[in-house]
Structure 1
Amino acid sequence: MATSVGTVPGGMTTPAMTPGASSPESERDAEFQEHEKILSPEFLSVAQIIEMLREDAEGVQKKLATFLNFKKLQTCLKEAILLDYYTSGFLWAREMDFSIVQYSKFMTLLDMLLHNLRTLHMSLEDSLKWIGEVMAEIGPPHLQKNEKWNVFDIKQAKAIIDYLKISLFQHYKLYEFLFYSTREEIVIGTEAALCFLAH
């Protein structure tokens, strides 16, 4: 199953968060480790991305369901919503004509955002701040101290933020509900929605 990667709100290690006295050297090491974590392709492998690039939209969805080990799509609302989230992200990235490396970073970014929401209970405000800091690290080279960390150009970085605004961030409360509510609340909510649609 795919693994999630996450960081503390704010994304970067600061001297105040580092135990004991911190030297410029130890701060540089911490910053390097943070970059490596952000850029590590842990959500999807290169082979998985290449497999999905050969598929149409339905094929991408089926492959992702397999990679994510989702086996209860017909009965589990959470799995269905998460599969849609990742599938939509991948198909959007295809429209952007990303490179394999960019696909990897973008899909990992999508996963990290959900991890931060689910595990760290990050608020919408904190998530927006976090994505801004992350994009400054893996975005346009003029914003960075090291060229090798460059993954996206200015246009791509802006497009990613715009995409997140109309996908995850626009529906942030619904994702919070998905992760934090009990099964009974979800069932009641689903029944109410179905009843509303029937009238």
Structure 2
Amino acid sequence: MANTTVKGSGKKAKTSHATIQIMGKGQDAYKDINWKTLSDEEARNLEKKGSLAWKILSNSQTQALQEMTVEDVEKKLAVILELTNSSTEPQDAILLDYYTVGFWWAKEEGFTSQQLSAFITVLNRLLGNIKDKNCSLSENISDLKSMMVGIGADSVEASGGLDFLDVEQAIKISDYIKSSLFQHHRMYEFMFHGQRKEEIIGTELCVKTLPAANVPFPAPLDEGLVEDAYNEYIAPPEAFDESENEELTKSATPNEEQLTEKKDDLEVFKVQVEVDPLNDVTADDVKQMFDIVSAELFGNLQIDVTRKLREREVEIITRINKIHKVAETT
């Protein structure tokens, strides 16, 4: 016999006791109970001492999860189990995925709300053994056996907390945990206790900063503008002294003697122009001169190109050597 408390409405709450006949074993023992009509407290009051139901998921949470899609179940379990960093933390993502798949499997197997809640408690306990107690595989198997004590037995004096399951459900749970957790026990041990190697990759960059500007505009970048072009086209003109301007004006004004000298120079230049300096130049002389000039021009160009090619070759070989050293160290 089991008693449930039902709260009435109104200013004065009335309490009535509904007597539920618990008959049979396993799932049949609670077949007359409609978990949807019970509150979380009423569902807990129906449980025997040591029951694994309602430890992680309450009755209301389990009822709500059964009505959701698998995507919504994952989001809800992330909040309930405090695995909200699953998008950035691999450990939280793995645990959330394991709980979600486990809940959905139990739901498709037709487990009741009580059995669903207890199944999540079993998964949480086994994972906690690995994380908190660093239990081995054999120790975790022994703990699972201890939780299944009393299933299908005529006497329920010794119970591991899952006596509301029948033998067939216990076998399904054992097979599921074996394939999903026990076969990958080493992986979960490494996830909780393995130390991951941290690799720090860095690149050193040499950055040259601009000097302090002493003009209205900052100094030009070396790769952007040459200094001669800056001084000629961009730099503001220097302050001009008026006294110097007067002296330049006076010196620029020619006198009579200077004009006479310029006239004489012009006459001499005219006489020199009238004499053609190329009268005695032959075609062979022009060809010889052209060969000399071209050799001087293109010879320097060839030397410059050869030098740049050698510098480029040395730079490429240096980079290849660095790559080989990195590959050998890794």
Q: TM-score normalised to the size of structure 1? A: 0.69
Cα RMSD of the aligned pairs, angstroms, is 2.2
Q: Which has the higher helix share?
A: 1
Deviations 1:70-128 (A, max 9, x none): 22222100000000110011011011111111111111111011111111111001111
The equivalent of 1:57 in structure 2 is 70
The equivalent of 2:82 in structure 1 is 69
Q: CA, structure 1 residues 166+106, in 2 after alignment: closer, same or farther (shift >3 Å)?
A: same
**8 Å CA contact retained: 1:136, 1:144:** no
CA offset at residue 133 of structure 1? 1.8
Which has the higher Rg, Structure 1 or Structure 2?
2
**8 Å CA contact retained: 2:147, 2:162:** no
Residue 124 of structure 2 aligns with an amino acid whose one-letter code is: D
CA offset at residue 171 of structure 1? 0.8
Q: How does 1:1-199 map to 2 (within 5 A)?
A: 36-137=49-150, 139-142=151-154, 144-145=156-157, 150-182=163-195, 184-185=196-197
1:142 and 1:180 map into 2 onto residues whose CA distance is 42
| Gap regions ≥5 residues in structure 1 | 1-34, 189-199
CA offset at residue 69 of structure 1? 2.3
Aligned residues: 151
CA offset at residue 66 of structure 1? 1.6
Residue 112 of structure 2 aligns with an amino acid whose one-letter code is: S
What percent of counterpart residues are identical? Answer: 35
**8 Å CA contact retained: 1:44, 1:104:** yes
Match of 1:136, SS state, is coil
Residue 176 of structure 1 aligns with an amino acid whose one-letter code is: E
Residue 145 of structure 1 aligns with an amino acid whose one-letter code is: E
1:170 and 1:91 map into 2 onto residues whose CA distance is 20
Q: CA, structure 1 residues 111+41, in 2 after alignment: closer, same or farther (shift >3 Å)?
A: same
2:50 and 2:167 map into 1 onto residues whose CA distance is 22
1:107 and 1:143 map into 2 onto residues whose CA distance is 25
**8 Å CA contact retained: 2:51, 2:162:** no
Q: CA, structure 1 residues 170+146, in 2 after alignment: closer, same or farther (shift >3 Å)?
A: closer
CA offset at residue 150 of structure 1? 2.1
**8 Å CA contact retained: 2:57, 2:117:** yes
2:76 and 2:56 map into 1 onto residues whose CA distance is 14
CA offset at residue 176 of structure 1? 0.4
Q: CA, structure 1 residues 106+143, in 2 after alignment: closer, same or farther (shift >3 Å)?
A: farther
